[in-house]
Amino acid sequence: MVLCVNVILFLALHLLPGMKSSMVSLKNNGYDGIVIAINPSVPEDEKLIQNIKEMVTEASSYLFHATKRRVYFRNVSILIPLTWKSKSEYLKPKQESYDKADVIVAHPYLEYGDDPYTLQYGQCGEKGQYIHFTPNFLLSNNLLFYGSRGRVFVHEWAHLRWGVFDEYNEHRPFYISSQNTIEATRCSTLLTGSNVVLKKCQQGSCITKPCRRDSQTGLYEAKCTFLPEKSQTARESIMFMQSFDSVTEFCTAETHNAEAPNLQNRMCNHRSTWDVIMTSDDFRTASPMTGRNLPPHPIFSLIKSKQRVVCLVLDKSGSMNSEDRLFRMNQAAEIYLVQIIEKGSLAGMVTFESFATIQNNLIEITNENASQRITANLPQVANGGTSICSGLKAGFQVITLSDQSISGSEIVLLTDGEDDKISSCFDEVKQSGAIIHTIALGPSAAKELETLSNMTGGHRFFAHKDINGLIDAFSRISSGSGSITQQAIQLESKALNMTARKWIIGTVPVDSTIGNDTFFVVTWTIQKPEILLQDPKGKKYKTSDFREDELNIRSARLRIPGIAETGTWTYSLLNNHDNFQMLTVTVTTRARNPTTPPVIVNSHMSQNTAHYPSPMIVYARVSQGFLPVLGINVTAIIETEDGHQVTLELWDNGAGADIVKNDGIYSRYFTHYRGNGRYSLKVHAQARKNIARLSLRRQNKALYIPGYIDNGKIILNPPRPDVKDDMAEAEVEDFSRLTSGGSFTVSGAPPSGDNTRVFPPNKITDLEAKFKEDHIQLSWTAPGNVLDEGKAKSYIIRISKYLLDLKEDFHNATLVNTSSLIPEEAGSIENFEFKQKLLKIENGTKLYIAIQAINEANLISEMSNIAQATKLIPPQALTALGTKSSGIRLAILGLAVVLSIF
């Protein structure tokens, strides 16, 4: 008997927050804690601040009415970059930072335009990462083709806060409706307009021609454009065309266009945007405000970024003697202070056992000598108990003794021990405003560490036995200032179990965007190995060129003079000891110049805590500037507390956990639970053989309106910057990047790691269908036996002439014989062709098709997206007719077009 999965349980993951922290809260109908951050590269401009205020003020009123008097913007902070001049009205930051901002203002990379968009790659109902506005969008007055800035902000806020999607589709601008009309992809269909081909426009006058229909697809030709009427009566929808005065609402269940081939329907199972919004955490408790009074205007605070302040708070208790933990901590801390922390930062250090000791007050990191003033005091002996609160309080003291504010400063807390008194300082920590990054070393580290990170907006990490976990954690703790070109980039972090008297060879590509401040570091557990390093031009560096640390922490470092050569570097290591030992190689660098951003990788899990049997999703975003990087190999390594590792290849194929193909977001489900406790995530991204490329496409953005019709006259908006292709012509060079995605906690999981009887195949989201003569051809991406891993056992395919019948009663729709269909490996492209005999098919007939997958445990996936196939018999001659309508009707007995006038 086939078992059904409890869909609510299975989808519980998608309603939980991701790793991106935000300070936004909703109380008494007002949003507080919104942060709008200006990138340090943006020139100082008072008009920019003024326009931001005007945009948010307008947006607050628009949002209030759009949500039926439920929410508005009450308190907004504008984060001024450190590069701007100081002013008396600028306040000091608390925990606000550029990398945690809800809205960022930054120049685009490569002039691909000023489209406002939201970085959004979670499932339906999941919050986005941030909204991106360009300075030109906020300052220019000729960008009216998006509508007013306040309306655009609300469109993007719905992406960011409530996880809804766009209701247009630039790649499928038209579709054939159930009423046999060709419709513009939109919501709602009450928005009127004309479908025309623009041939020539001069001095406000345009020559147009009617849209011709493609005899193969039944849709309009590629150059056909839907131009809306300027005067509208429809109030929906903000997620389609917020620019029109009449549009003041989101599509509801009554007005939603469930047929439109847009991302909202595909990702949210054809639910309306208002339905998704009303099930969000915000609206479960937000009732409409009573009375007729409007909410007050937003209150703005101008906050100026400050010099970075970091204090290391390091455990030197007795338990740090085991498994070389003290050595490994010192190795990683030295790499952080010498190679990772940004120049100009203030850094100090505290060590603790049963009590805390201040080792260094704050020192400005101007060069390597300044860093070594701190590393010289790294602890050499471990003993005593574990008092984490003592360490934190001493860290606060280090900051205040240098006349710095604890609020907004960072503490890096590393410990391997338990402490039953850690909760005694939670209130003090929370009130301090400090950001606490925690590194749990080994399985016995205090379970409350994550609470410290969560309550202060800090990162959380877990490191097992080898040094790399610690180095990866420290390397991830970079400045949140937005100055990407100043941040350290990790190119390699490899642990090597070396047998006696054996060589090992490895390579590291250095691309032309990086090479400044480049370090190669080798660590060992017993005896220093023989080291040979060769640059792309053949220059060799030997063991004697690597400087061994004076603290005897078993590490040797080479800083490449000047700018590292572009190309492939080769390293060779010889374990010249009689026994095997662990060697590690770490390579870090920075951007070559401030004008060309390097490729960077950011990774995280979909949630901080997993309660078995909820699946999780691994995300890795690969970008250069703000442009997605495509066609590369991205691998996630997830490690448990007992050292067991799971390796996952992440995909950008628009299937399974990945919502959009080719957007630079690489994703995969994680289900390999192996007991409870902490798990760590590391991601390695590599481009080889010149196959990587940049994409100029943007998802989840305000719709550009090419023009509109006013009293029968076509009015065109200014054109967007010309982008010749979806892809930039220049390929991305070979590169290698490595980053930590932090840690997450698992509870309720069995120790065996068996997941075959818990998780069904993943939902198919890219089903496509078309008629080929009397047959129907289907294609989709194969799901797995367990979500997106392995092979499904079989498929269930059902068809109907009616969309709602299939959507609401899939199990009673007509069944297709799939006995000859053998599932392929997950991620493969499936193709299936069949001849429908049970339903009468004639010219103009539309069939709706959906599919489910079954695995070996007889668990069934969710129903797929619903694909549509329309039977069209090409006529002998095609007569072009005028097309001023919301759509054209397809005659059942031929392809004649019936004109429908509004």
What are phi and psi for residue 769, nearest 5 degrees?
A: -140, 145
Residues whose CB is less than 8 angstroms from the CB of residue 858 and which lie 6 or more positions away in sequence, other chains included: 1, 2, 3, 793
What are the residues whose beta carbons fall under 8 Å from the beta carbon of 39, sequence distance 6 or more?
81, 98, 104, 105, 106, 107, 482
Distance of alpha carbon 586 from alpha carbon 588, whole angstroms: 7
On whether the CB atoms of residues 400 and 424 are closer than 8 A, the answer is: no
DSSP state of 488: -
Total residues belonging to the chain: 902
Tokens (6 digits) for 847: 């069939």
Active-site choice (96, 126, 156, 353): 156
**Token code pair at residue 150:** 């306040």
Output the CA–CA distances (angstroms, integers) from residue 360 to 151, 310, 371, 376, in the order listed.
51, 12, 11, 10
Q: Residue 744 belongs to what H/E stretch?
A: strand 735-747
Question: ∠ CA(430), CA(412), CA(746), 5° rounding?
Answer: 75
- The verdict on whether 156 is a catalytic residue reads yes
Phi, psi of 873 (to 5 degrees): -110, 110
653: exposed, middle or buried (Cβ count in 10 Å: 0-12, 13-18, 19+): middle
Report the C-alpha gap between 791 and 828 in whole angstroms.
Answer: 10
Which residues of 211-345 form beta strands (DSSP E)?
A: 225-228, 299-304, 309-315
Task: For residues 671 and 606, give the distance between their C-alpha atoms in angstroms, rounded to a whole number.
Answer: 12
Name beta bridge partners: 649: 635
Query: Amino acid identity of 666?
Result: Y
The answer to whether 693 touches 732, Cβ cutoff 8 Å, is: yes
514-534 CB burial, b ≥16 within 10 A, e <16: bbbbbbbbbbbbeebbebbbe
DSSP state of 852: E
412 vs 422: CA distance, rounded Å: 16
Residues 6+ apart with CB under 8 A from 34: 23, 24, 56, 73, 75, 76, 77, 102, 103
Alpha carbon distance 868, 770 (integer Å)? 7
307's CB contacts (< 8 A; 6+ apart) are: 82, 344, 345, 346
Q: Indicate the DSSP class of residue 298.
A: P
Give Rg (Cα) of the chain: 29
Q: Is 894 helix (H, G, I), strand (E, B) or coil?
A: coil
| Count of helix runs (H) and strand runs (E) in the chain | 15, 51
- The number of angstroms, rounded, from the C-alpha of 137 to the middle of its chain's C-alpha atoms is 23
Closest CA to 474 of 485, 483, 487, 484: 487
Separation between Cα atoms, residue 497 and residue 577, nearest integer Å: 12
- Residues 138 and 55: beta-carbon distance below 8 Å: yes
Q: Residues 547, 493: contact at Cβ < 8 Å?
A: no
The strand pair at 72-73 and 30-32 is best described as: parallel
Q: How far apart are CA 283 and CA 63, in angstroms?
A: 13
Catalytic positions are: 156
